[in-house]
Structure 1
Amino acid sequence: MPETGAQRFADALADLGVDVTFGLPGVHNLPIWESLGTAGIRLVGVRHEQAAGYAADGYARASGKLGVALVTTGPGAANTIGAVGEAMASASPVLIVATDIPSSLRRPGVVRGVLHESSDQRAMFAPVTKAALTVPSPDEIAPALLHAGRTAMAPQSGPVYLGIPADFLRQRAGRGPEQGGTELIPAVDTGAFERARALLSEAARPLIWAGGGALRSGAGAAIGNLAERLAAPVVTTFAARGLLPPGHPCLAADPVHVPEVGELWDEADVVLGIGTDFDGLMTQNWLMPQPPAMIAVNVNAADAAKNYRPDVTLVGDALAVTEGLLTGLAQRRGLDRLSTRLDRIEHRVRRRVRAEEPQAAELLSALRETLPDGAILVADMCVAGYWIGGFHRVSAPRKLVYPMGWGTLGFAFPAAMGAAAAGMGRAVCVCGDGGFLYACAELATLVQETLPVTTIIVDDGGYGMLRYDQEQAGLPARGVDLVTPDFVGLARSFGVRADRVDGFGRAFRRRLREFSRADEPTVLVVRARLRPPLNTSPRWYRVGTEN
């Protein structure tokens, strides 16, 4: 029996290794739902298209695999753009598949008023995707999907949009021609390796700065070995938290935004940046001074040099290049001395945290001591999330999901659903009362899909970070104090087990231990107000920039 475009689509998803997708049905994309139902691919039905995009992103970050969101035409597609922008800024391999109006109703250059019609739906996605594609015929659905998925996964990974005219899904579809492969990363020049090794060998105070590209390539063990060989401290960006285990002798575990860690950059005579672009959030808007010498490892030479000037650029995969740097480098002395110094820095920073914000110290301690092994922590753009992103001890790669690429409020709760659906461990979401309300309808998704998610809602009565900004400026609070629902009652109305505590003390620990080990979705509401940490822009210690 001839296959339809929708059946070819399902077969191609299976060929990409996709076993879970996220989406919302519409009149145009129903054939996809029908085909996936018979292909054995799980389709998690969400309540808003933006949640589908965030869930696909959370799935990708937790698993390292392609995250797929399936949405319908026009407003359904447009609703995902905020989530797609976050995936782009964080290099998450997400595939957004949206139907478009039937090709038989389209007239080039004319908006006729077809249901859900846009003048150019693909063009809406061009600024926030790695590639934006439209399928030209039913026969090319499968080849286009395979190409789009492989493009999203290829370094540097990122989101790809694929539009499919709705009528193609029910039409007979052939196999179509293979589309071109993704561009391969060239081998690193031998001379560049030699210059980099020479700089590292001669350095008195080398520093390794590892970013999200290092984590995505699986370079953690190699970077740890290189750091020990060089007796060099390792600073990780928000996207690379968990790259090295918490007990690694070279790990500077706290953010570079605290002066104790910032000193490591200031005194370094060679900085080795691996898989990073030295963005404004990590460098306090580039107020960190240009190092005397810099080596950049990146899949894109322009990306490597856009913020700081490298003396040597090694274009290639972070894992392969790091292993190449290890070859021929002699073991340096000073590893024990470095480890002792980093322990002292850690002690000073922990003492600072306890003195500045005791409740944050309690939160961090509770998470460290009570979360089950293998749990994935998903933090939102909220004060508690900022503390977690900067100071939580992440046990392993992909165990922290944090939206500090674009910085999208409301990310965490739907992203936690995607992380949970990846089957890599229980997802524990930490969000504020304001951000949670962006996607509170997804409580229904948790129940319907029985997703293992524990949601911690830190309720400070509004937008705590913005309230702090106004207080610091001596301004009255405007727009930041919110009327919020009874979150416990709201969760229970969906059939979700929920409770409320005050602060992050014993009651919080007891409930968190219980809820994070339950075999059902849970919600824990915490009434607390936290002061923002030093890794938030109003508290950066380097001054002289617009925050």
Structure 2
Amino acid sequence: MGGSAPRNGGDLVTETLTALGAGVAFGIPGQHALGLFDALRRAPELRFVSSRVENNAAFAADGHARLTGEVTPLLVSTGPGALLTLASLQESRAAGAPVLVISSQIPRAGLGGGRHGYLHELPEQSASFANVTKSAVTVRHASQIPSALAEAWRTAAAAPAGPVLVEIPQDVLLEPTVVPPVTDVDAMPAPLAPRAEMVDEAARLLDEARRPVVLAGGGVSRSGGQKALLELAEALQAPVATTFGGKDAFPWEHPLSLQSWIEDRHTTDYLEGADVLLVVGSGLGELSSNYHTFAPKGRVVQVEADLGKLEANVPALGIHGDAALTLAALAERVSPRDRNPEVAAEVAGVKARVAKRLVGQDLAAEQTLLASVRAALPDDAPSFWDMTVLAYWAWSAWDPRDGQMHSAQGSGGLGYGFPAALGAAATGRGPVLAVSGDGGAMYSIAELATARQHDLDVTWLIVDDGGYGILREYMQGAFGEATHTELTRPDFVALAASFGVPATLTSPERVEEDLAVALSEPGPSVVVLPMHVGLFAATHLDG
């Protein structure tokens, strides 16, 4: 290398990430991590997107990981920087987003009960990540970096996917290394194939079923199992409902599609009436089981990559396996049935009853708003939704078409939509939509600077109802009035403009046109809609 500075631990990190296939990383620099960030200067093939707050950087990595299905690096510093990512990583863990967190650490002399008094020091930093990552590893020598990162990468990608942590002490990142440039690392995780006898038994039950039905969850989408699910459903003539996390698992307008009205008792009752219900890629948690009111009358076959979720909520024939691999195996084994118009008529009947119930709730403005947003967004563009009332509508009613819909319903934290959309936009694939309420928007308003600095193609729709709209609805319903839900907020249009981000104040009548114009212009933009959005009564039966 002539007179150039010797390579160090930081270079091993960037070389390993590049060799594993990373093209972009997210994060924020910090004192103990300077050796890593200096190495980024020597790694032009690894693009770095710098956020303003670590939790938003983690959301950005999550959004990128969900859109691409690829492990996405998140680079943060010791102590406060690392800890700020925890709430975001809880969402990534719940939603199966493969984020590789690389955090710095205090020097090795302070680890394991050694010296004390270092800046950002924690007694055991990795212990804080135990509940939100699949694994946590501390590197103590530069030569360990390539293997540690490669193993963490495979762990993050392996079904069920999720975040992992590798922490590297400050002196390890800075120390010179004689390890040659990293090129030979394995990024491929071992496939989680189902056991053959379990697939055979599930195929037998489905073949013998008179009314088989499928509930498809996020595991189908994450595994790329959509094609296999379509083949299986058509072979069985089985209606398919999707969970909120698996909205693109099955074609929305297919004659067998029950869509995503799984909080509605009409849909729940239909699922319960199946003599064999195939639940694939879902743990049947609170939202997917209509708040644990779901009580199947027939046999349940559950396919789940997360072993701890098998039969956790409903007794079933539990198959531990990757959703795509299991669906493909089932599609090969079941006996195809003739197309049955009676099944399509049943599905249409369920959706008609759901629509009739909504008509009786005086919610035309909300339905029109969601339709306007859908019409403005190109069919193949992804959308990212914060925990806001309009997102609750979208969970059930949004047609993802050829794009993807992602939200924070995994763990339910605020502030997800905009930074996650920025992470998705870092792929350069075209416009991305983010949707927030005014309360959630304040969690990530600083990321307008990130959007402008990196010229990320995100249009941010902020629905301003003057407070925490969901909490207002819940408190009024439970206690008769809401407390501490009303918020002072900024002039979002002027604030966005101060960052150099074009912004528009819109109305329900103009929102489709204004959103379409904003989405058609490259770079970041903001559209603010002052409007109170009401919730629908999800579980109420009214004939």
Give the TM-score category using the shorter length.
Answer: over 0.9
Q: TM-score, normalised by structure 1?
A: 0.93
Amino acid at match of 1:296: Q
Shift in Å, 1:127: 1.3
Q: Deviations over 1:78-117 (max 9, x none)?
A: 111111111011111011111011113x153367221111
Shift of 1:484: 0.6
CA distance, structure 1, for counterparts of residue 37 and residue 532 of structure 2? 44
Match of 1:74 in 2: 79
Give a deviation string over 1:149-197, Cα, whole Å, max 9, x none: 1110111100001111011111122449999998745653333222212
Distance 1:457 1:188, change over 3 A: closer
* Matched position secondary structure for 2:73: strand
Q: Tell me the amino acid that sits aligned with residue 516 of structure 2.
A: R
* Counterpart position of 2:278: 272
Per-residue CA deviation, residues 485-511 of structure 1 (Å, 9 max, x unaligned), is 101000001011001123x22x11110
Q: Secondary structure at the match of 1:531?
A: coil
Equivalent AA in structure 1 for residue 102 of structure 2: V
Do the aligned partners of 1:463 and 1:480 also contact (CA within 8 Å) in 2?
Answer: yes
**1:235 matched to 2:238:** no
Give unmatched runs, 5+ long, in structure 2.
none
1:34 is matched with which residue: 33, 38, 47? Answer: 38
Letter in 2 for 1:7: D
CA contact (8 A) 2:59 2:420 kept: yes
Cα 1:254–1:214 shift into 2, 3 Å: closer
Match of 2:483 among 465, 478, 497: 478
Structure 2 match to 1:145? 149
Cα distance per residue 1:114-146 (max 9 Å; x no partner): 111111111111111100111121111121111
| Amino acid aligned to 1:471 | Q
User: Are the structure 2 counterparts of residues 280 and 107 from structure 1 closer, same or farther at C-alpha, using a change threshold of 3 Å?
Assistant: closer
Percent identical across equivalent pairs?
A: 35
**Equivalent residue runs for 1:331-342 within 5 Å:** 331-342=336-347
Q: Give the drift of 1:386.
A: 0.9
- Aligned with 2:391 (options 380, 385, 388): 385
Separation in 2 of the partners of 1:190 and 1:91? 25
Deviates more, 1:242-251 or 1:272-281: 242-251
Measure how far apart 1:515 and its partner are: 0.6
Q: Which amino acid aligns with 2:460?
A: T
User: Tell me, what secondary structure is at the counterpart of 1:295?
Assistant: strand
Equivalent pair of 2:200/2:333 in contact (CA under 8 Å): no
8 Å Cα contact 1:254-1:346 kept in structure 2:
no
Would you say 1:210 and 2:213 are equivalent positions?
no
In structure 2, what is the equivalent of residue 3 of structure 1? 7
Match of 2:430 in 1: 425
**What is residue 116 of structure 2 aligned with on the other side?**
112
Q: Per the alignment, do residues 473 and 306 of structure 1 end up closer, same or farther by CA in structure 2, a change over 3 Å counting? A: closer
Using the TM superposition, name which of 355-364 and 151-160 deviates more: 355-364
Moved more, 518-527 or 345-354: 345-354
> Are the aligned partners of 1:63 and 1:424 in contact in 2 as well (CA < 8 Å)?
no
Q: Distance in 1 between matches of 2:203 and 2:394?
A: 35
Cα deviation per residue 1:418-466 (whole Å; 9 max; x = unaligned)?
0111233311011000000001010001000000000000000000111
Cα distance in 2 between the residues matched to 1:181 and 1:61: 17
2:136 is matched with 132
Query: Is the contact made by 1:87 and 1:159 (CA closer than 8 Å) also made in structure 2?
Result: yes
2:157 and 2:189 in contact (8 A); partners too: no
State the Cα distance separating 1:245 from its structure 2 match. 2.1
Q: 2:525 aligns to what?
A: 522
Q: In the aligned structure 1, how far is the partner of 2:215 from the partner of 2:406?
A: 19
SS at match of 1:172: coil
1:442 maps to which of 442, 447, 470 = 447
The AA in structure 1 aligned to 2:492 is F
Match of 2:88 in 1: 83
Inter-CA distance 202–89: structure 2 relative to 1 (3 Å threshold): same
The answer to whether the 8 A contact 1:374-1:426 is kept is no
CA distance 1:188–1:481, shift in 2 (3 Å):
closer
For the residue of structure 2 that corresponds to 1:271, the secondary structure is: strand
* Post-superposition offset of 1:325: 1.1
How do 1:108-507 residues align onto structure 2 when only pairs under 5 Å count?
A: 108-109=112-113, 112-175=116-179, 184-185=190-191, 187-310=193-316, 312-356=317-361, 357-396=363-402, 399-502=404-507, 504-505=508-509, 507=510
Alpha carbons 2:149, 2:166 under 8 Å: kept? yes
Deviates more, 1:193-202 or 1:384-393: 193-202
Query: Match for 1:515: what amino acid?
Result: A
Residue 414 (structure 1) shift: 0.7
Secondary structure of the corresponding residue to residue 28 of structure 1: helix
Alpha carbons 1:379, 1:430 under 8 Å: kept:
yes
Q: Alignment RMSD, CA only?
A: 2.1
In 2, Cα distance between the equivalents of 1:183 and 1:394?
29
The Cα of 1:340 is off from its aligned counterpart by 3.0
Alignment correspondent of 1:94: 99
User: Corresponding residue for 1:545?
Assistant: none
> Per the alignment, in what secondary structure is the counterpart of residue 327 of structure 1?
helix
AA of the residue aligned to 1:326: A
Total equivalences in the alignment: 533
**Matched-pair contact (CA < 8 Å) for 1:372–1:517:** no
CA–CA separation in structure 1 for the residues paired with 2:106 and 2:21? 28
CA shift digits 1:267-298 (9 cap, x unpaired): 11111111111111211332110342111212
Change over 3 Å in CA distance of 1:254–1:285 after alignment to 2: closer
CA contact under 8 A between 1:515 and 1:522: conserved in structure 2? yes
Q: What is the alpha-carbon distance in structure 1 between the residues aligned to residue 154 and residue 188 of structure 2? A: 7
Name the SS of the counterpart of 1:127 in structure 2: coil
| Structure-1 separation of matches of 2:150 and 2:347 | 46
The answer (yes or no) to whether the contact 2:272–2:298 under 8 Å persists in 1 is no
SS of the counterpart of 2:484? coil
| d(CA) in 2 for partners of 1:150, 1:173 | 24
Q: Contact 2:158 / 2:191 at 8 angstroms: preserved in 1?
A: no
The residue identity in structure 2 corresponding to 1:102 is P
CA contact (8 A) 2:159 2:192 kept: no
Higher mean alpha-carbon deviation, 487-496 vs 354-363, is at 354-363
